[in-house]
Amino acid sequence: MKKSTFSALFLLALGLGSALPASADESKEMLKNVGMFPVRTLALGAGLLVGTPIAISRRTADRCSEYTGNFADKIGGKDHLPPVLFASVLGVPFGVIAGTSEGVYLGGKNAIANCVEKPFSKESFSLGELE
């Protein structure tokens, strides 16, 4: 880039920056936020990478059990083995589909919602309570 183009862009950015209202953060708070930015970014990435498969596993197990129990109740009761075995033929595939989609949503939601206030917490890795 030419020096004059760089100077023009710098002056333009400086002019736009001076037109914006000043931040209300104190200097200590601003420095803390700047220092925490890499930590929060890594927490978001780790939460997405680790927390999403955990949320998928947890939701899939819950949904498979729920659908199998509901289907077994309709054909003889979930207290007996034969109705549960027959119900699992439909309950497990439906549970995997529903649990996977819910787990992807909740894993991402937990990672994004908790990376700022509580980075690297059990909630950001979907190990806390799932909704």
By percentage, how much of the chain surpasses pLDDT 90?
47
Condensed to tens digits (0 to 9), the pLDDT of residues 32-48 reads 888 888 898 999 999 99
Up-side HSE of residue 15: CA atoms within 13 Å toward CB? 6
User: Considering the entire predicted model, what is its pTM?
Assistant: 0.72
- Write the DSSP string, 31-93: HHHHHHHHHHHHHHHHIIIIIHHHHHHHHHHHHHHHHHHHHHHHHT-TTSHHHHHHHHHHHHH
Average the pLDDT over 12-25 and give the result: 55
Condensed to tens digits (0 to 9), the pLDDT of residues 62-108 reads 999 999 999 999 888 888 889 999 999 999 999 999 999 999 999 99
Separation CA 57–CA 39 (nearest Å) = 26
Q: What number of residues does the chain have?
A: 131
Separation CA 110–CA 126 (nearest Å) = 6
